[in-house]
């Protein structure tokens, strides 16, 4: 992995075979396995039912406030990240009953209202192969 500034390049291998080289739009210099803590990026091997061999789920900060989730799918056979979403202030992932769920916030279409008091709504999407992401 090479990292610095606001982008990183990640080479992914499986059994000594290069799967792909991926450009990630955030700094992964201090990335670790496990939950992202206080702005430190994380890279996790997650095994949802639809991909029992695993997906790489990358969590990181982007810019001053935004958070991003990117997914690398080794079966995708591409050097392009399979899914990426950037939340205005938050982006999370969770494995529930074998399904990978991505959560992120985005501005409400109407701005602040009674239904959307802080001007941002939380959105949750299930990762499915071929999904493209949003919030970018």
Q: Would residue 57 count as lying in a domain?
A: yes
Q: Would residue 134 count as lying in a domain?
A: no
- Total domain count, the chain: 1
Enclosing domain of residue 15? 2-126
Q: Would residue 62 count as lying in a domain?
A: yes
Chain CA centroid to CA 121, Å:
18
* Alpha carbon distance 102, 131 (integer Å): 12
DSSP code string of 57-97: EEEEEETTTEEEEEEE-GGG-SSS-SEEEEESS-EEEEEET
Q: Would residue 19 count as lying in a domain?
A: yes
Given a contact cutoff of 8 angstroms between Cβ atoms, the answer to whether 49 and 29 are in contact is: no
Q: Hey, CA dihedral for 83, 89, 91, 96, is it positive or negative?
A: negative
Q: Would residue 132 count as lying in a domain?
A: no
Given a contact cutoff of 8 angstroms between Cβ atoms, the answer to whether 43 and 56 are in contact is: yes
| Residue pLDDT tens, the chain, 136 long | 555 557 788 888 888 888 889 988 887 877 777 665 666 788 999 999 999 889 999 998 888 888 999 999 988 777 889 999 999 999 999 999 999 999 999 999 887 788 888 889 999 999 987 665 554 4
Q: Would residue 121 count as lying in a domain?
A: yes
């Amino acid at each position: 992995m090479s990292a610095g500034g606001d982008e990183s390049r990640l080479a992914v291998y499986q059994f000594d075979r290069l799967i792909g080289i991926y450009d990630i739009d955030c700094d992964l210099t201090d990335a670790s396995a496990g939950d992202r803590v206080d702005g430190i990026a994380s890279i996790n091997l997650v095994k949802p039912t639809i991909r029992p061999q695993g997906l790489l789920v990358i969590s990181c900060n982007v810019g001053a406030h935004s958070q991003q989730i990117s997914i690398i799918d080794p079966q995708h056979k591409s050097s392009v990240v399979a899914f990426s979403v950037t939340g205005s202030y938050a982006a999370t992932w969770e494995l529930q009953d074998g399904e990978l769920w991505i959560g992120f916030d985005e501005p409400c279409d109407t701005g602040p209202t009674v239904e959307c008091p802080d001007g941002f709504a939380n959105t949750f999407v299930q990762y499915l192969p071929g999904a493209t992401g949003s919030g970018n």
